[in-house]
């Protein structure tokens, strides 16, 4: 009987070994597909039930920006589809950055850049009227004729006085009278010389005034040409500045648009890596959070945590897709 009892014990032990061996097999393909939907999540099932496709223990690795992004705690009961981690602070930051970039982009596009006005034409200088010195020259000729006439009269009067002075017994009053006329002629001659000098002065003044007017006209024309050249240079400079401002704005718009696209791609999940970490990580099965272990911090500042989930008994549910 003792031998028979030992034989039964050995048989039961062998049956237990076979049962443990058959209950340990890899996770199904459906489960693997579900876990691959979160790039920053690594799930490691360690034990399964022969009656279901749910693992007994599931390890999920997540990345978060802050510890508060982890929405579960040790010992917490969670259901399939409950959020494990959600980088809300990162999404809020990106949303605020998106709004700021969009406002900056709209303001930059709406800002008007006024092109420079074409240089105004400088009015031409009015030409000087034709010069004429007829009046001044006529006065000079008249005064010269007067001088010549008076000079002839003086010569005749002198000859007359010389003749009368040789007449015997001539009344001295006559000589005195003629001498008085000679003195008057000399005074008229002096006045005529003064009129001639005055006429010559007026003629010279007219010529000098004309030369001054011609000089002023040449100076004004030179200033006009200089003003035209300066206006043209200023216009070219302003046009170059205008084109440079347009180019700078286009560059700034392209830079802001590129940054805005990156942020929008991050928020929409279109970015391959930067935004994949912003996606929510949800529980693929119902169960209990057994352990949360912080693994460290990445160079980008994100935190890595390992979550161990004990799947509840009878959880015969397909993994969350």
Which three-class secondary structure string do you get for 237-299?
HHHHHHHHHHHHHHHHHHHHHHHHHHHHHHHHCCCCCCCHHHCCEECCCCEEEEEEEEEEECC
For the entire predicted model, the pTM comes to 0.46
Determine how many CB atoms are found less than 10 A away from the CB of residue 101.
Answer: 20
Tokens (6 digits) for 78: 């969670």
Q: Are residues 227 and 258 in the same domain?
A: yes
Q: Are residues 138 and 229 in the same domain?
A: yes
Number of domains forming the structure of the chain: 2
**Span 137-151, average pLDDT:** 93
Q: Are residues 229 and 300 in the same domain?
A: no
In a domain, 55, yes or no: yes
For residue 219, give its domain range. 89-147+191-270
Q: Are residues 53 and 79 in the same domain?
A: yes
Q: Are residues 105 and 254 in the same domain?
A: yes
User: Is residue 182 within 8 Å of 224, Cβ to Cβ?
Assistant: no
In a domain, 173, yes or no: no
Q: Is 319 helix (H, G, I), strand (E, B) or coil?
A: coil
Q: Are residues 77 and 102 in the same domain?
A: no
In a domain, 161, yes or no: no
User: Is residue 280 within 8 Å of 83, Cβ to Cβ?
Assistant: yes
Residue 108 has pLDDT above 80, yes or no: yes
In a domain, 236, yes or no: yes
Q: Is 55 helix (H, G, I), strand (E, B) or coil?
A: strand
Mean pLDDT over all residues of the chain? Answer: 78
Q: Are residues 305 and 240 in the same domain?
A: no
In a domain, 39, yes or no: yes
What ranges in the chain are assigned the alpha helix state H? Answer: 2-22, 29-35, 88-110, 134-166, 172-268
pLDDT tens for 167-225 read: 888 888 988 898 999 999 999 999 999 999 999 999 999 999 999 999 999 999 899 89
pLDDT tens for 265-295 read: 776 655 544 444 566 788 888 889 989 989 8
Q: Are residues 80 and 213 in the same domain?
A: no
Q: Are residues 243 and 266 in the same domain?
A: yes
Q: Are residues 107 and 207 in the same domain?
A: yes
Range picked from 13-22, 274-283, 305-314 for highest mean pLDDT: 305-314
């Amino acid at each position: 009987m003792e031998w028979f009892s030992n034989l039964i014990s050995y048989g039961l032990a062998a049956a237990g070994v076979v049962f443990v061996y058959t209950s340990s097999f890899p996770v199904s393909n459906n489960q693997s597909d579900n876990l691959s939907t979160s790039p920053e999540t690594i799930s490691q099932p360690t034990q399964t039930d022969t009656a279901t496709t749910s693992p007994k223990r599931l390890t999920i690795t997540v990345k978060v920006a802050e510890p508060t992004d982890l929405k579960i705690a040790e010992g917490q009961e969670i259901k399939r589809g409950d959020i494990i981690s959600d980088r809300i602070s990162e999404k809020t930051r990106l949303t605020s950055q998106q709004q700021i970039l969009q406002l900056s982009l709209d303001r930059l596009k709406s800002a008007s850049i006024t092109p420079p006005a074409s240089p105004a034409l400088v009015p031409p200088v009015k030409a000087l009227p034709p010069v004429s010195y007829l009046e001044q020259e006529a006065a000079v000729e008249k005064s010269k004729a007067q001088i010549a006439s008076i000079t002839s009269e003086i010569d005749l009067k002198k000859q007359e006085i010389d003749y009368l002075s040789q007449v015997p017994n001539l009344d001295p009053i006559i000589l005195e009278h003629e001498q008085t006329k000679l003195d008057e002629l000399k005074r008229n001659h002096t006045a005529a010389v003064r009129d001639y000098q005055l006429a010559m002065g007026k003629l010279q003044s007219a010529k000098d005034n004309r030369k001054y007017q011609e000089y002023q006209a040449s100076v004004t024309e030179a200033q006009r040409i200089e003003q035209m050249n300066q206006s043209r240079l200023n216009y070219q400079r302003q046009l170059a500045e205008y084109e440079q401002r347009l180019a700078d704005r286009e560059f700034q718009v392209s830079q802001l648009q590129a940054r805005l696209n990156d942020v929008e791609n991050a928020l929409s999940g279109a970015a391959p890596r930067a935004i994949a970490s912003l996606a929510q990580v949800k529980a693929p099965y119902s169960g209990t959070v057994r352990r949360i272990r912080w693994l460290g911090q990445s160079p980008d500042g994100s935190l890595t945590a390992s979550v161990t989930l004990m799947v509840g008994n009878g959880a015969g549910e397909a993994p969350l897709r």
